[in-house]
Structure 1
Amino acid sequence: MKKFVLAACLALSFALPSAHAQSATPVDPDSAAAVKELLIAMNYRDTMRQTFEQVQKNLPAIMLQGASAAIKNNKALTEAQKNEAMAKASREIPQAAVAMGAIFNDPALMEELVAEFVPLYARHFTAVEIRQLAAFYKTPVGTKMMALTPQISGEAMQISQRIMSPRVSAAIEKVLKAQ
């Protein structure tokens, strides 16, 4: 089970966009207010909620695909062992997906993300630029873009999954062989 959870976590970490963590620096109040205005204009909370729902919906398939490829490519296992491992993965993936899905349902998650996005946007844009972005997202095309972002993200995730699956499978196989 430990190996499977490790493999599932590894698969999920490849499936989700990577975060380039940087330490939070103080943000001037004008920029902070502009970022908060931008996030409201982007309908950020609802968009992220929809994106999280899409990730949760795809999570079991992502995990099963990664586990399946790792098991099938594991030359150290006999066919019977592969079948047993697949059966075990099929039983455990729903539980692992629920456990990992709980992360997305944590009420504090959105607040933590917003708190981190304020310095992120302030680091890359001036307060004036942030307000220009907010003005764009209030236009019909900006509103359309934000409305379609969850759908586009879901489709992009499927494309990424298809392209990355062989690479993720190879990485999972290396981890499993090393243990």
Structure 2
Amino acid sequence: MKLTRCIAFALLGTSFLLAPLVHADASARRAQVEQLLLEMHMDTTMNAMYDQMEQLLVNMQNGLDLKDDEKPLFEAFAHNYSKIMRDELSWDKLKQPLIDIYVKHYTDKEIADMSAFYASESGRSMVAKMPQVMQESMQVSQSFLGTLLPKVEALQKEFAEKLKAKRAEH
């Protein structure tokens, strides 16, 4: 019993001695991930994404066939929508959760390799071109919405009708 107690105290003491080292290691790893996200220009990429979202809203306005006196209503909606997105999904709010995700899923070597890539000429080129690539990708996706949305709406309507009929059986 005495031996077990001594071992327990030794393990407990060791854990107290090692805890600062583990914390320091975790802090260093989080700092490496934060540096990686900076090298990826994640903050400016997010801003570019919000700018593209605003452009999609403008394009949506054109497709709504709004009357002149209705356009200020839509513009106010678009402004408020954009503001909410930028406020609620700001870089300051997302940075720590993103760091948590990277720390959880990537090894130290993978983080170092990604940092090396984003510090390279090719990595910097990718970051610089990504907003344009994202914009063009969104335009391509948006072009498919004209045929996709009616199909999805028809599927939803069909499901609602089948569900209503099924419930009427009981």
CA–CA separation in structure 2 for the residues paired with 1:93 and 1:171: 25
The reply to whether residue 95 of structure 1 matches residue 93 of structure 2 is no
Q: CA deviation at 1:171?
A: 5.1
From 150, 153, 177, give the equivalent of 2:134: 153
From 39, 58, 73, give the equivalent of 2:37: 39
Residues 95 and 134 of structure 1: is their aligned pair in 2 closer, same or farther, counting only changes over 3 Å? Answer: same
Report the AA paired with residue 153 of structure 1.
M
> What TM-score comes out, normalization by structure 2 length?
0.64
Show the counterpart of 1:61: 59
Q: CA deviation at 1:64?
A: 5.3
Q: CA deviation at 1:152?
A: 0.5
Show the counterpart of 1:51: 49
From 100, 115, 121, give the equivalent of 1:134: 115
Gaps of 5+ in 1: 1-26, 69-82
> What TM-score comes out, normalization by structure 1 length?
0.61
Show the counterpart of 1:124: 105
Residues 172 and 140 of structure 1: is their aligned pair in 2 closer, same or farther, counting only changes over 3 Å? Answer: same
* The structure with more radius of gyration: 2
Answer yes or no: is the 8 Å Cα contact 1:35–1:121 preserved in 2: yes
Report the AA paired with residue 38 of structure 1.
L
Q: Please give the per-residue CA displacement for 1:74-125, whole angstroms capped at 9, x wherever unaligned.
A: xxxxxxxxx8xx5487553222111111124428711111122112222221
Show the counterpart of 2:26: 28
CA–CA separation in structure 2 for the residues paired with 1:105 and 1:91: 21
Aligned length: 132
Report the AA paired with residue 133 of structure 1.
M
Residues 129 and 103 of structure 1: is their aligned pair in 2 closer, same or farther, counting only changes over 3 Å? Answer: same
Q: CA deviation at 1:166?
A: 3.3
Report the AA paired with residue 57 of structure 1.
Q
CA–CA separation in structure 2 for the residues paired with 1:97 and 1:170: 26
CA–CA separation in structure 2 for the residues paired with 1:100 and 1:166: 25
From 95, 104, 112, give the equivalent of 1:114: 95
Gaps of 5+ in 2: 1-24, 161-170
Q: Give me the CA root mean square deviation.
A: 3.1
